[in-house]
Amino acid sequence: MRASRYLIATQKETPNDAVVISHQLMLRAGMIRRLSSGLYTWLPTGLRVLRKVEKIVREEMDSAGALEVLMPVVQPAELWEESGRWQQYGPELLRVQDRHNNPFCLGPTHEEVITDMLRTEVNSYKQLPASFYQIQTKFRDEIRPRFGVMRAREFTMKDAYSFHLTPESLQETYDVMHDAYCRIFDRIGLDYRPVLADTGSIGGSHSHEFHVLAQSGEDDIAFSSESRYAANVELAEAVAPAGERPAASKAMEELHTPGQKTIAALEEAFGIAADTSVKTLIVLGELSKEEAEAGKAAPLVALVLRGDHELNELKAEKLPGIASPLQFAPEARIASELGCGIGSLGPVGLEIDVVVDRAAAHLADFVCGANKDDYHLTGVNWERDVALPQVADLRNVVPGDASPDGQGTLEIKRGIEVGHIFQLGDKYSRAMNATVLDENGKEQVMSMGCYGIGVSRVVAAAIEQNHDDAGIIWPEAIAPFQLAIVPINMHKSEAVQQKCEHIYEALTAKGIDVLLMDEPKARLGGMLADTELMGIPRRIVVGDRGLEKGNIEYKGRGDSENQEFSADQIIDTLL
Ligand code: ATP
Ligand code: MG
Ligand code: MG
Ligand code: MG
């Protein structure tokens, strides 16, 4: 690229409405411009970086076996009503009407649309597992858009979705995606950590976030000093506030020692007759606020789910000694009373945890059963005597507290969430009846995973980690240009002009992104400052004085000193 035909658009002054460094530098380096709150235009330099991030993401998604698709930004309300999210999502969902008064929304995420696609395109288990992704615009009417593209209203996300016949297959793809995410962030050159995460309004059970460590991050991440345990501190925020959490009853306490109790223990505790058709048991505790404040233990409500969890077959069963208005409520009523999607109940007991957590979040005096200190596990799966994921309550942790995995103490750092992967189970596929025929010709609801990367946020996060007083220091893989050629008096010196053109042509032909600073009126100081502000990883300065000695000056963006390279061998040296 020749600067004379390009829009460099750098600015000296720090814009006063930009508080974080990446936002300041993206404006100053001529990458983005604000159109309105949370809406940004990507200028050529910004777009070059965004496209490089997209390219890496695309390559890794392709090699993880996901197929690229492109879904509409505008989505019909009917789909969201089917999933239940039209009511649940809240004001972050921008709702619009067309000229016929039909309701639509601007997609903040695409679970409904992809599930709709799968239920029509796929009908046999032989077509599973299947993964799809897109790199596309999302809209979320964020309550407080800020930090430039880091928390925008319109932004670019890579979202992928996988579909499975069995939970094991979902776990397999989840692991593949986890690895693909690690490769993506490694290739981009970020200092990041995968951490245990809450599932937010997307729903589901098992979930990890990928965080870029940076002071300006909006999330607190707790790390163990001795193990690989890392979790978002917001993890347990969905549970009722600490003051309203009752002490667990003895039975509950025993029941919910994470990972240790099986259905046998439940049978003993509650006197349930063994019944092989019981797949999952949820235990909820219910307490009035006053009772909770008085430190009373929660009475128990239990739902015993039978059969294969076809929603219309679900039965709630009363357990001894329990009085609760909710106990016999059909699941739909429970769901609406709790304001949570119980549609995610699946054959995997783990999902129940999340449903119950969500329930607790919606009724302050309704707490999930496992309010053993620091734990709010609730689901117990009939078929699996496996450790349930330990969901620790990290809301009040301070550095130095014991790590929930029992190894070492916790350290807390700030992180920027750049990626998030979820095992959704059948939350959407069940609600939207996305089924396939299994080996026996029987209809089975698919299991689903979803996997997001905030592609535009990654650009800002990379700057938060890589900058100095002079500007951005791009990791090579996503730099808008890999090399800048800065001529001294190019338009007066034939020798300088020839040399610069020669290097520019030769390196460009080799596929290197070169910016030739060939603007006739540009001053040396200004050009050098621009290449630094724009974060171009390498630059050479070509002038008559150096050429006479057979030299060209070179400086890496992170270097403190210039180096002299031989003018004759400069192309080979730079390749
Ligand atoms: P946050 O906690 O920051 O609001 P989220 O948990 O709501 O993010 P997800 O639903 O997990 O976001 O979406 C996947 C990814 O999209 C996030 O990990 C993040 O990188 C990106 N993202 C989410 N919201 C925004 C936004 N407003 N602007 C830019 N990127 C975003
Ligand atoms: Mg959000
Ligand atoms: Mg989040
Ligand atoms: Mg998230």
Enclosing H/E stretch for 60 = helix 44-63
Nearest CA to ligand 1 atom 15: 454
Question: What average pLDDT values come out for the chain (575 residues) when binned by 10 residues?
Answer: 97 90 98 97 98 98 98 97 88 96 98 97 97 98 95 98 94 96 98 81 69 92 89 56 30 34 43 37 40 40 36 30 31 31 26 33 31 31 30 74 88 95 89 95 95 98 97 98 96 95 97 96 95 98 96 96 95 94
Q: Which ligand neighbours the alpha carbon of 235 most closely?
A: 3
Atom of ligand 1 nearest to the CA of 108: 10
What is the per-residue pLDDT for 24? Answer: 97
DSSP string, 192-218: EEEEE---GGG--S-EEEEEEE-TT-S
Cis bond before residue 91 (omega within 30° of 0): no
Does residue 208 contact residue 197 with C-beta atoms inside 8 Å?
Answer: yes
ipTM of the prediction greater than 0.95, yes or no: yes
208 Cα: distance to centroid of ligand 4 (angstroms): 9
Atom of ligand 1 nearest to the CA of 418: 20
Indicate left, alpha or beta for 204 from its phi (over 0: left) and psi (-120 to 50: alpha): left
138 lines ligand 1 (CB under 6 A): no
Q: Which two tokens stand for residue 510?
A: 């080799």
Atom of ligand 1 nearest to the CA of 209: 18
Q: Which ligand neighbours the alpha carbon of 454 most closely?
A: 1
Nearest CA to ligand 1 atom 24: 151
Choose the residue to mutate in 150, 157, 235, 456 for probing ligand 1, maximizing ligand atoms within 8 Å of C-beta: 157
What is the per-residue pLDDT for 199? Answer: 56
Nearest CA to ligand 1 atom 3: 417
* Gap between the Cα atoms of 450 and 125, Å rounded: 19
3-state percent breakdown (helix, strand, coil) of the chain, nearest 5: 35, 25, 40
Q: Using N-to-C axis directions, what is the helix angle for 44-63 and 167-188, rounded to 10°?
A: 140
Q: Which ligand neighbours the alpha carbon of 136 most closely?
A: 1
What is the per-residue pLDDT for 235? Answer: 59
Q: Using N-to-C axis directions, what is the helix angle for 21-28 and 455-465, rounded to 10°?
A: 100
421 Cα: distance to centroid of ligand 1 (angstroms): 11
* Gap between the Cα atoms of 249 and 459, Å rounded: 49
Q: Give this prediction's pTM.
A: 0.77
Q: Which ligand neighbours the alpha carbon of 92 most closely?
A: 2
140 lines ligand 1 (CB under 6 A): yes
* Gap between the Cα atoms of 16 and 22, Å rounded: 13
Compute CA distances 49 → 8, 22, 178, 305, 403, whole Å.
Answer: 14, 13, 24, 51, 38
Q: Which ligand neighbours the alpha carbon of 151 most closely?
A: 1
Compute CA distances 145 → 154, 155, 264, 415, 475, whole Å.
Answer: 10, 11, 50, 18, 27
* Gap between the Cα atoms of 46 and 534, Å rounded: 10
Enclosing H/E stretch for 300 = strand 300-306
DSSP state of 437: E
* Gap between the Cα atoms of 203 and 210, Å rounded: 17
202 lines ligand 1 (CB under 6 A): yes
Q: Which two tokens stand for residue 296?
A: 């009373």
- CB count within 10 Å of CB 557 equals 22
First to last CA, the chain: 17
* Gap between the Cα atoms of 382 and 352, Å rounded: 12
206 lines ligand 1 (CB under 6 A): no
DSSP state of 477: G
Atom of ligand 1 nearest to the CA of 218: 3
158 lines ligand 1 (CB under 6 A): no
Atom of ligand 1 nearest to the CA of 422: 11
SS3 for 571? helix
135 lines ligand 1 (CB under 6 A): no
Nearest CA to ligand 1 atom 7: 200
Compute CA distances 366 → 81, 278, 299, 399, 422, whole Å.
Answer: 26, 25, 11, 30, 26
Q: Where are the alpha helices (DSSP H) in 455-561?
A: 455-465, 494-509, 524-533, 544-548
* Gap between the Cα atoms of 267 and 454, Å rounded: 45
Nearest CA to ligand 1 atom 28: 151
415 Cα: distance to centroid of ligand 1 (angstroms): 13
SS3 for 155? strand
Nearest CA to ligand 1 atom 21: 454
Q: Which residues pair with 425 in a beta bridge?
A: 448
475 lines ligand 1 (CB under 6 A): no
Q: Which two tokens stand for residue 123?
A: 């009908």
Nearest CA to ligand 1 atom 25: 151
417 lines ligand 1 (CB under 6 A): yes
The amino acid at 546: G
What is the per-residue pLDDT for 508? Answer: 97
157 lines ligand 1 (CB under 6 A): yes
Does residue 438 contact residue 167 with C-beta atoms inside 8 Å?
Answer: no
DSSP state of 297: P
Atom of ligand 1 nearest to the CA of 145: 27
328 Cα: distance to centroid of ligand 1 (angstroms): 38
Does residue 1 contact residue 516 with C-beta atoms inside 8 Å?
Answer: yes
Contacts (Cβ under 8 Å, ≥6 apart) of 158 = 54, 57, 58, 61, 133, 134, 135, 452, 453, 455
Q: Are strands 230-232 and 219-224 parallel, antiparallel or unpaired?
A: antiparallel
DSSP state of 239: S
Does residue 64 contact residue 58 with C-beta atoms inside 8 Å?
Answer: no
